Amino acid sequence: MDKVIFFFCVFSCWIMQITSNDASVRGSSDLLRVQTGENISLNCSMTNRYEVAWYHLKSGELDLLIAAEKDEKGRKLLTNYNLYATRLKMTADAWVTRATLVISGVTESDSGLYFCGTKSDAPEMHFNKPIRLEIEGLFVTEKPKEVDNTDGVTTKEKALMLEEVTLMERVLMFGGVGLAVFVFFLATVVAGGIIHYHGWQKGWAAAKRSSLTQHKSAK
The pLDDT assigned to 214 comes to 59
Each residue's pLDDT expressed in tens, for the chain with a length of 219 residues: 554 444 444 444 433 443 333 333 334 678 999 999 999 999 999 999 999 999 999 999 999 999 999 998 888 999 999 999 999 999 999 899 999 999 999 999 999 999 999 998 888 899 988 999 999 865 444 455 555 655 544 434 333 333 444 444 554 455 554 555 455 555 665 566 666 666 666 666 666 666 656 555 555
27-164 CATH? 2.60.40.10
The pLDDT assigned to 180 comes to 55
Which residues have C-beta within 8 Å of that of residue 30, sequence separation ≥ 6?
129, 130, 131, 132, 147, 149, 152, 153, 154, 161, 162, 163
Supply the pLDDT for residue 73. Answer: 86
The pTM is what? 0.53
Residue 57 Cα distances to 45, 83, 151, 194, angstroms: 20, 14, 20, 47
99 backbone dihedrals φ, ψ, rounded to 5°: -105, 135
Are the C-beta atoms of residues 107 and 126 closer than 8 Å to each other?
no
Residues 199, 5: Cα–Cα separation, whole Å: 17
Question: What is the pLDDT, as a whole number, of residue 189?
Answer: 56
**∠ Cα 8 183 198 (to 5°):** 60
